[in-house]
Structure 1
Amino acid sequence: MWSPAAAQRAIIVAGCLAMAYTQLTQSPATIRFAESLGATGLHMGILGAMPYCTLFMQFVAAVLANHLKYRRRVFLTIGIMQRLVLLPLAIGAAFAPPGYEMLYLWLLILATAANHAMANFCMPLWLSWMGDYLPRQGLSEFWGARHRWMQWAAAISLLGSAFYLWQSGLPIRVAYAGLIGVGSVLGVLDLLLFLKVEEPPVTQAKELRLGAVLTAPFRQPGYRSFISYACFWNFAAMIGAPFISWFLLSWIGMSLYQIMVIWTFSWIGGALFADRLGRWTERYGNRPMLIMCTFFKSANMIALLLIPRDPNVAFLVLVPIFMLDAVLNAGIVIANNGFMLKNSPSENRSMYIAAGAALAGMVGGLTSIGAGAFLALAADWEWRSGDWTFTNFHVLFAASLVLRWASVLVAVRIHEPASKNTLHVVTQLIGATPLRLLRLPVLVIPVEAEAKPVPAPRRPRPLAKADRR
């Protein structure tokens, strides 16, 4: 087995390989591939919903975990199958004769469902393993550092994919098969790194009755407040998020290459700030980070509602907006993981993780399907006002915008006594006190000399056996 320090590095490298796999297999190229097979708005909504509709598999894994002594063998077996499931479909569609498009479209949907079902099955097994292995002290800092490198891996993978699609000149079905092949190899390598990461034995729930195991997270008021936020946030976000790339392709008229470059820049934005977000979350708590990131997550919906139908202008506007959005996504991911691992007991931890992520995801999945059905039914609907045209896409983005603002009210109800007050955090981060904020018309720029110096946070220390949970 690796030493604790080497294991931490392996977990980060594995995260980068996993992110590369995700970008190569779920990039905007998948949308173009589905379009080549005749996909409609309903099909796009179903594809966008699959990561979420299959989240019930997290509960299946959480129940199973209470009957296992170790998770590694099950995790690796299912994980490797998941990494390879899209490969036969992609190769078959690349060389299929004309007339089989609808067959391969539904095979794509089924393979995507199997892919996400197995991925969701593996998630609570892996995350509970990490929760038992990693020290609680400095946990959010470690997630921040890991997330930073994962964002760089996503940016490099997506940029490489965009260059490949641009320069290869291959038909989209053949090019898609190439992306899936490379992604599958990287995904399997990610999993193999965990062969030498030590795994503490599972701490099983004392009460193994199915009802007691399933309901344990919901009986804790503090954890229940987090579940409520996660469910409402996924409902608000998934009304618009699954259709962004399709909107840019079909309505704005961007090329696939332009869209992939935009997403590449977004990952760079997340990479530049993820480490800092991890330190802030460790210092101030998960709750204020969730509130602040949720508050600003409406920015991309506002931009999508206002951008003109000009691919080049839209590209220039959306690059910084998507970079900001990726920063906010990184903050939400770090705070979500930190809250779940720090507020879940070692006993029955897999179920707490499933309750914190799976239920919210299923809400998001059903929302995505419903929104996709609306797009299909209102495909020809338009409303014009001067030079501006309001379409079915804009209806979804407007609804998502309003609900994202409402999500802030739900986020403030999260119960985490150890976290700082959000207003206190904001004033600390901008270097201004509430009194000086009231004087902003007179004193616009805070004077650095008046701000109290904040000691630099400690870097995550190598794991010691005494720290492992």
Structure 2
Amino acid sequence: MDHPASSRAGVIVSAPGRRASLRLSYANAAAWGLGNGLVSSTLVIYLGLELGAKNTALAAALILSAPQFLGLLRFSAPALIDRLADRKTFCVGCYAASALLLLLLPWAAAPGRLATPERSLVAMVAIWSLYHLLEYLGTVTLWSWLADLVPGRIRGAFIGHRERWLLVGTIVGMVATGIGTYLWRSHIENSATWNPGDRWLGYAAYALLGALAMLAATIPLMRMATVTTTASRPADHVRRRLAELLAPLGDARYWHLLLFGCTIAFFNGLTQSIQFLYPAAVLGLSLFAMLTLRSTMRLGQIAISPTMGRLADRFGNRPVMIACQAIVATGPAFYLLATSQAPWFVAGAWLAWIAYAGLNVCLPNLMIKLATPHLRAAYIAAYFAITGLTYGLATVVGGWLVDTFRDERFYAFGTTQIWGIYDLMFFLGWIGRTGSVVLLFMVIEPGAKPLSQLLRGEPQDATK
């Protein structure tokens, strides 16, 4: 039963205002997801390939990893919130600025805009990275804001429903981009005045539409309730902020979660660039085919996200994450099986990655449970900054390895089976992601019951 107002953890917000804000957060998720679907990493990589720059694997790695390096500045989010504005103003400002910056991406991608393709690629990476930095800062702030708006007893279900709206928007955007770019490419290739240099225009147009959709996504945020708190803060701002930033690293429970996060980030990053490059460069799959696979994955995630949230509320986040990570880990094995004669084995990977829905729901919920209310932003910022750095470094290493050893061939484990660098990378990704499941058994979740009790169907203590 809702009360006229909630003072949970010092938070003051009316019950009607809270309910309206949660509905608006769903609208924000749908619009932002639409923008992300229209201008996905896949589209940016295909757009970058149109530039004709050398070292394509490393170029794809930079597009994927450079934003993660700048993501270290997420540590500054809590201090910036206090220094520059309240959470609502800061969150809306970051998201709006990131969308406006993304409008420059089509300009940088125009062939001949800069002196060389390599310079154009650098400009694209810079814009893409700064866009992600501002998005990261906004996201850290948004989760801290939402944590105070959503009661703990329904938080998992809320995250699951919000994830569903985010995925709906993403799928619509991806389908629109896939069909639109396919039709554009077919049109120019069948035109009497066909110019191969015009293919980039189809990609650039959807990047522009994506930026506009993300800008529109800030409108629901502007209408959400401004959360105030009755909690007092010490006068020593600098010392307090430093202590808050370092607080997560002094929590042993947090280190267990961080170890898991860094492990999966490393093995995800190691194969990330070639997951996009291999289908295009080796298997010959079009952007439309890749976005169809990604959309299928998102549809599956839409279907299971609310269920993942309800299971997390009942049994805890850790059991859901263990099951989902075991499924997700099989993805690189399907890439390992795919060849130019049988390219559709990669579809198995995207079906397995439907299980990412459970991780997407449970990870932020678990971090919120670990932190005290005034440290939530610091816990979330530290996790995504450190794992993002790990992911970024691994992505660059993976791209460099592929470009360096692209022509090497060797026998796999002393057998007569000949492997190339792609095969080795996918094998390492499969083994590493599978091994990370073991680390989840070390994660400590407040209020969760031992696995033996969960197997008997006893729910967790969801009071926090």
TM-score by length of 2: 0.85
Distance 1:68 1:20 in 2: 29
**8 A contact 1:49–1:364 mirrored in 2:** yes
User: Relative to structure 1, is the Cα distance of residues 387 and 161 closer, same or farther in structure 2, using a 3 angstrom cutoff?
Assistant: farther
* Partner deviation per Cα, 1:237-293 (whole Å, 9 max, x = no partner): 211133212111111121222111111111111111111111111111111112222
Per the TM alignment, residue 115 of structure 1 is displaced from its structure 2 partner at its CA by 1.0
Distance 2:388 2:441 in 1: 20
CA-atom RMSD in angstroms: 2.7
Distance 1:7 1:121 in 2: 20
Task: Say whether 1:85 aligns with 2:101.
Answer: yes
**8 A contact 1:204–1:347 mirrored in 2:** no
Task: From 53, 65, 68, give the equivalent of 1:52.
Answer: 68
Task: From 340, 346, 350, give the equivalent of 1:322.
Answer: 350
User: SS of the counterpart of 1:3?
Assistant: helix
**8 A contact 1:63–1:351 mirrored in 2:** no
Match of residue 420 from structure 2: 391
**8 A contact 1:268–1:323 mirrored in 2:** no
User: Relative to structure 1, is the Cα distance of residues 60 and 172 closer, same or farther in structure 2, using a 3 angstrom cutoff?
Assistant: farther
Match of residue 370 from structure 2: 343
Match of residue 434 from structure 2: 405
User: Relative to structure 1, is the Cα distance of residues 376 and 424 closer, same or farther in structure 2, using a 3 angstrom cutoff?
Assistant: farther
Per the TM alignment, residue 64 of structure 1 is displaced from its structure 2 partner at its CA by 2.2
Per the TM alignment, residue 219 of structure 1 is displaced from its structure 2 partner at its CA by 1.5
Distance 1:172 1:135 in 2: 49
**Which residue identity lines up with residue 255 of structure 2 in the other structure?**
R
**Which residue identity lines up with residue 245 of structure 1 in the other structure?**
F
Distance 1:92 1:319 in 2: 33
User: Relative to structure 1, is the Cα distance of residues 416 and 166 closer, same or farther in structure 2, using a 3 angstrom cutoff?
Assistant: same
Match of residue 121 from structure 2: 105
TM-score by length of 1: 0.84
Distance 2:362 2:400 in 1: 32
Per the TM alignment, residue 96 of structure 1 is displaced from its structure 2 partner at its CA by 3.7
**Which residue identity lines up with residue 196 of structure 1 in the other structure?**
R
Match of residue 218 from structure 1: 249
Match of residue 247 from structure 1: 278
Distance 2:456 2:325 in 1: 18
Name stretches of at least 5 consecutive residues in structure 2 with no aligned partner: 1-13, 189-197
RCO (CA 8 Å, sep 6+): is it higher in 1 or 2? Answer: 1
Match of residue 28 from structure 2: 14
Match of residue 48 from structure 2: 34
Task: Say whether 1:234 aligns with 2:269.
Answer: no
**Which residue identity lines up with residue 252 of structure 1 in the other structure?**
L
**Which residue identity lines up with residue 249 of structure 1 in the other structure?**
A
**Which residue identity lines up with residue 222 of structure 2 in the other structure?**
L
Match of residue 279 from structure 1: 310
Task: Say whether 1:152 aligns with 2:168.
Answer: yes
Distance 2:451 2:63 in 1: 37
Give the number of aligned pairs. Answer: 429
Percent identity of equivalent pairs: 19
User: Relative to structure 1, is the Cα distance of residues 12 and 242 closer, same or farther in structure 2, using a 3 angstrom cutoff?
Assistant: farther
User: SS of the counterpart of 2:373?
Assistant: coil
User: SS of the counterpart of 2:228?
Assistant: coil
Distance 1:5 1:350 in 2: 22
**8 A contact 2:174–2:291 mirrored in 1:** yes
Task: Say whether 1:298 aligns with 2:314.
Answer: no
User: SS of the counterpart of 1:253?
Assistant: coil
**8 A contact 1:38–1:105 mirrored in 2:** no
* Partner deviation per Cα, 1:302-342 (whole Å, 9 max, x = no partner): 111112322xx433x3335412312x211001110111122
**Which residue identity lines up with residue 324 of structure 1 in the other structure?**
A
* Partner deviation per Cα, 1:395-416 (whole Å, 9 max, x = no partner): 2211111211221121111011
Distance 2:432 2:149 in 1: 37
Alignment of 1:260-271 (within 5 A): 260-271=291-302
Per the TM alignment, residue 124 of structure 1 is displaced from its structure 2 partner at its CA by 1.4
Per the TM alignment, residue 3 of structure 1 is displaced from its structure 2 partner at its CA by 3.4
User: Relative to structure 1, is the Cα distance of residues 123 and 98 closer, same or farther in structure 2, using a 3 angstrom cutoff?
Assistant: closer
**8 A contact 2:161–2:306 mirrored in 1:** yes
Per the TM alignment, residue 66 of structure 1 is displaced from its structure 2 partner at its CA by 4.1
Match of residue 463 from structure 1: none
Match of residue 201 from structure 1: 228
